[in-house]
Structure 1
Amino acid sequence: MSKQPRQRTLIGFDDEIAECPDGDAATVPDEQPAQASAPSADETVYVVDAYALIFQVFHALPEMTGPAGQPVGAVHGFIRDMVDLLEKKSPDYLLCAFDLPGDTFRDERYAEYKADRSEMPEDLQPQIPNIRRVLEAMGIPCLECPGYEADDVLATVARKAEHEGMQCYVVTSDKDCRQLITDRVKIYNIRKDSIFDASALMEVWGVRPDQVVDFQSLVGDKVDNVPGVPLIGPKIAAELLQKYDTLDRVLEHAEEVSGKKRRENLMNGRESAMLSRDLVRLVDDVPVAIDWNEGRVAEIDQSAVQSLCQEFGFRRLAERLAGLTTQAEPATAQAEYRTVATLAELDELVQQLSQQSQISIDTETTSTRPRSAEIVGYSFAWQEGDACYIPVRAPEGDPQLDPATVRDALRPVLENPDIQKVGQNLKYDMVVLRSAGIALRGIAFDTMVADYLIVPGERNHSLDDLAARYLDHTTIKISELIGTGKKQKRMDQVPVAQVTPYAAEDAEVPLRLAGILQGRLQDEGLTDLYRGLEMPLIEVLAEMEFNGIKVDVARLGELGQRFGERIASLEQEIHELAGGRFNIDSPKQLSKVLFE
């Protein structure tokens, strides 16, 4: 399903913090931990920047209150993130790093450090102890250390994990942690479900991990009040470090730097740069107790967790937490997914489809944009555990059928309103098929739309998330087939043998979900809304997307001419003020005019 990749400060918080499994540096337990197997090189550690995630979910999600009227939105969002990590990443170890109230050594070093950070929102303060209560019930240690920030704790865990030969993923959006990147330590973005490593760092900042501290020392950080060196932005900092390698050498060669103002700032900014380096460099040996036995993922205390979920009103999350006790076998191990590779097989399939009262459908395409996407293949399912894929575009030498032949053969089935159609994000398929000359009729159930009605507060409604949430099933990820970034392929460039299980699953899983979600809609009293408004709206929106909107070309031309004249007038004024002509669109020439 090319249409939707499966997948998405702290001042003044409450001093009364619930205890967590391993305590802090001041309360190291006297008892020796139970014996457990030592960490091994093939194991993974996920260490979470707790407050970074808490603030993200607090500000991103709508307000949510529990049965007693207490705010619980941040609790729900954060714990849901922890469940996502456990379900999707299956870490061997999972730990959380917290900040403690009070000053750190950085505040003592520089009084203005993070001085502009606002206090914690009033509705968030009482949620912190509750988050820690759930973490304790889940057996996830909370690490913290007086006088240090959570980032320092993250650094300490990362280095210890690396020393033990494990792979460590630091779950944070804090750019300071990029200095921790090594072959065994990477940054995990839970929102994008993406890994940030040394190659990504070079692409974004143009520096190596060992240059991150020097890079930040030059650039500074307005949010944290790290001064840096004036007029040294990310691009210039990267160029300087590429040429001179380190901050010390940059400062030693400051007189050689081009640009009068920039050169002066570097020559006069040594003290500021050195201060900034002290502020941004993370401490990776803080005195915090790290017990791998405590951090190892194990069975959670279901009694305590379910009691807390009841207290906070987390019915759906309680079900997901209950599912963490056992690991279900992937459905793909039991399912039969096959490729329809000959005309005889196509004819047989069409006969079977024509006899069904309900089928699940999905299309694989070359683009996420339905109006320009070309169909790569069709997938169908009409009973659980059985699905097929018809390739019509594929690498040379792979099995594939003529697109027009397949389209014409399937049209009677797809346009038959008496055969009910089930799927995930059917609006996309409707537009794609309409572009190919097929009017999809008989739309009966869309799993994505149903889930949005059932849990509107959920961040993701992708097939990956629905399968994990309702079926305890891990789906094949589209990134496993087409890759990511600059090396990403089109679906028609992927071997059919790899596409078939992915595409067939895209049809079979919605079929399995449909019955569950229909029951949930009934339980929530949402069936009438779903069938009376949401489902008919799919066809209306698909029609709008296919037809597009009408524009007044003459009026747009008139506006374009008017804006063009205004731009020309402004350019002339700028050149007069600058004392000569230059390319305003050139950052290099513009900076020279402004600063030199």
Structure 2
Amino acid sequence: MYEGLAPCPDLGHMHKASGRACSYDRRSRRAPVGHRSKPPRARSGEPMRTTPRTRRVADQIQRDLAEILHTELKDPRVRMVTITGVEVSADLAHAKVYFSALADAATKQLPLAFALSKLKPVFEDPDIRKIGQNLKYEIVVLERNGIMLKGISFDTMIAAHMLDSSRLSYSLDELSRVYLGHLMISYKDVTGSGKTRIPFDEVEIEKAKTYSCEDSDVAMILYKKLEPELEKAGLIDVYGETELKFIGVLARIEMNGVRVDPVKLKELSEEFESGLKELEKEIYAEVG
């Protein structure tokens, strides 16, 4: 849906640029920059209307783009880019992505290098247990910044999936709602929305602290609830000996990619196709 999203030409300028937007029309393959006075329309004439469907798609695009920026792009400048919002046309053919680009010198935050130097000993100490949600993401982000996450003890997202693989979402918000009956503070609650939206690095420290600490608190509470459930279901050994260890493997695959032998892949494809045809014949024979 948004595979063709192109970066704004001036994305590389690391000056303060809150509220800047890139518009992209999937059909026209154009990526004009800047705000428009009227709601942008796709070629089909669909305006940027907000519906439950477009909100879900926009939120997913924002999450995916943020993850791509911080896990797949190696340019250190993108660390200072924040995806602050996304708007999607009703026919899902057109997306408008809001972002901010902020240089270290323009922020009031601690320098990144200083913060990483203080956190590195903690993250790399295997004797300090690490409990969290979707720790594969943390592994990738930290390793991009020269830190090897060690001592992984529990991942609430993986535990929840093992206990019930039929859920549509395993986000921290959803797990908090289902298991704890608690509605978490949303990203929009602290950054605002629409024209008043601001990047996270401009959120008041107290609000940012409350939002961030809630994530940690909820992950810990979920751990205390889900671990006994895994034991009760007889899954705790598989979880610890197999699933948990695969987090690092999957993170490595995500960072390095996968080498594919096209010849072998074709052979396997033909083998599977032949097997499926035989299985189909057996099924038809059984049912008459």
TM-score range, shorter chain: 0.5 to 0.7
For 2:176 and 2:237, the matched residues in 1 are separated by: 24
2:190 maps to 1:501:
no
The answer on 1:474 being equivalent to 2:175 is no
Selected match of 1:371 from 72, 75, 79:
72
Measured in 1, the distance between the counterparts of 2:80 and 2:157 equals 21
Report deviation, 1:395: 10
1:198-347, aligned counterparts within 5 Å?
Answer: none
CA distance in 2: counterparts of 1:527 and 1:485, whole angstroms: 45
1:569 paired residue number: none
1:133-163: CA deviation from partner (whole Å, max 9, x where unpaired): xxxxxxxxxxxxxxxxxxxxxxxxxxxxxxx
1:395–1:494 contact (8 Å) kept in structure 2: no
Name which of 221, 226, 230 aligns with 1:521: 230
Aligned counterpart in structure 2 of residue 192 of structure 1, from 56, 74, 84: 56
- Is the contact between residue 447 and residue 510 of structure 1 (CA under 8 Å) also seen in structure 2? yes
What whole-Å deviation, never above 9, does each CA across 1:434-465 have from its counterpart, x for those lacking one? 00000000111000110011111111111111
- Superposed, 1:58-457 pairs within 5 Å as 188-189=52-53, 192=56, 367-369=66-68, 370-372=71-73, 374=79, 398=108, 400-457=109-166
In structure 1, C-alpha distance between the alignment counterparts of 2:162 and 2:169, rounded to whole Å = 12
Deviations 1:152-184 (A, max 9, x none): xxxxxxxxxxxxxxxxxxxxxxxxxxxxx9xxx
Give how far 1:480 is off. Answer: 2.4
Report if the CA contact (8 A) 1:424-1:463 is conserved: yes
C-alpha distance in 1 between matches for 2:256 and 2:190: 32
Greater mean alpha carbon deviation, residues 420-429 or residues 470-479: 470-479
8 Å contact from structure 1 (residues 423, 446) kept in 2: yes
Distance (whole Å) between structure 1 residues aligned to residue 136 and residue 153 of structure 2: 12
Aligned to 1:385: none
Rg larger for:
1
2:267 corresponds in structure 1 to: none
Q: Is the 8 A contact 1:395 1:493 kept in 2?
A: no
8 Å CA contact 1:394–1:492 kept in 2: the answer is: no
Partner deviation per Cα, 1:264-298 (whole Å, 9 max, x = no partner): xxxxxxxxxxxxxxxxxxxxxxxxxxxxxxxxxxx
Length, aligned pairs only = 184
C-alpha contact 2:104 2:111 (8 A) present in aligned 1: no
Partner Cα separation in structure 2 for residue 452 and residue 467 of structure 1:
14
Q: CA 1:394 to 1:498, structure 2 compared with 1: closer, same or farther past 3 Å? A: farther
* Residues 474, 193 of structure 1: alpha-carbon distance in 2 compared, 3 angstrom cutoff: farther
Q: Distance in 1 between matches of 2:250 and 2:127?
A: 22
For 2:124, give the aligned amino acid. E
Shift of 1:375: 8.0
Query: SS of 1:500's equivalent?
Result: helix
Gap change, CA 1:371 and 1:491, over 3 Å in 2: farther
What SS does the corresponding residue of 1:459 show, helix, strand or coil? coil
What is the CA-CA distance between 1:188 and the residue it aligns to?
Answer: 4.0
Partner Cα separation in structure 1 for residue 188 and residue 164 of structure 2:
26
Number of the residue aligned with 2:277: none
CA contact (8 A) 1:445 1:514 kept: yes
CA RMSD of aligned residues (A): 3.7
Q: Indicate which of 516, 524, 530 corresponds to 2:239.
A: 530
1:545 and 2:246 correspond: no
TM-score norm. by structure 1 comes to: 0.28
Residue 234 of structure 1 corresponds to: none
Give the aligned residue type for 1:452. Answer: H
Deviation per CA, 1:482-537, whole angstroms, max 9, x where unpaired? 45689865433433333221111111110111010001111111112211211011
CA contact (8 A) 1:434 1:546 kept: no
Q: Could you report, residue by residue, the CA deviation over 1:35-93 in whole angstroms, capped at 9, with x for unpaired residues? A: xxxxxxxxxxxxxxxxxxxxxxxxxxxxxxxxxxxxxxxxxxxxxxxxxxxxxxxxxxx
Write the letter of the residue equivalent to 1:539: G
**One-letter amino acid of the counterpart of residue 406, structure 1:** A
Q: Report the TM-score when normalising by structure 2.
A: 0.55
- Flag the 1:409–1:537 CA change in 2: closer, same or farther, 3 A: same
Contact 1:371–1:546, Cα closer than 8 Å, also in 2: yes
SS of corresponding position for 2:66 = coil
Partner SS state of residue 130, structure 2: strand
Change (3 A) 1:432 1:454: same
Distance change (3 Å), C-alpha of 1:420 and 1:457:
same
**Distance change in 2, residues 1:187/1:397 (3 Å):** closer
Structure 2 residues without counterparts, runs of 5 or longer: 1-48, 60-64, 82-102, 262-288
Shift of 1:417: 0.7
For residues 311-341 of structure 1, the C-alpha deviation after alignment (integer angstroms, 9 at most, x for no partner) is xxxxxxxxxxxxxxxxxxxxxxxxxxxxxxx
Q: CA deviation at 1:419?
A: 0.8
CA distance in 1, matches of 2:166, 2:178: 14
In 2, are the aligned partners of 1:468 and 1:474 still within 8 Å (CA)?
Answer: yes
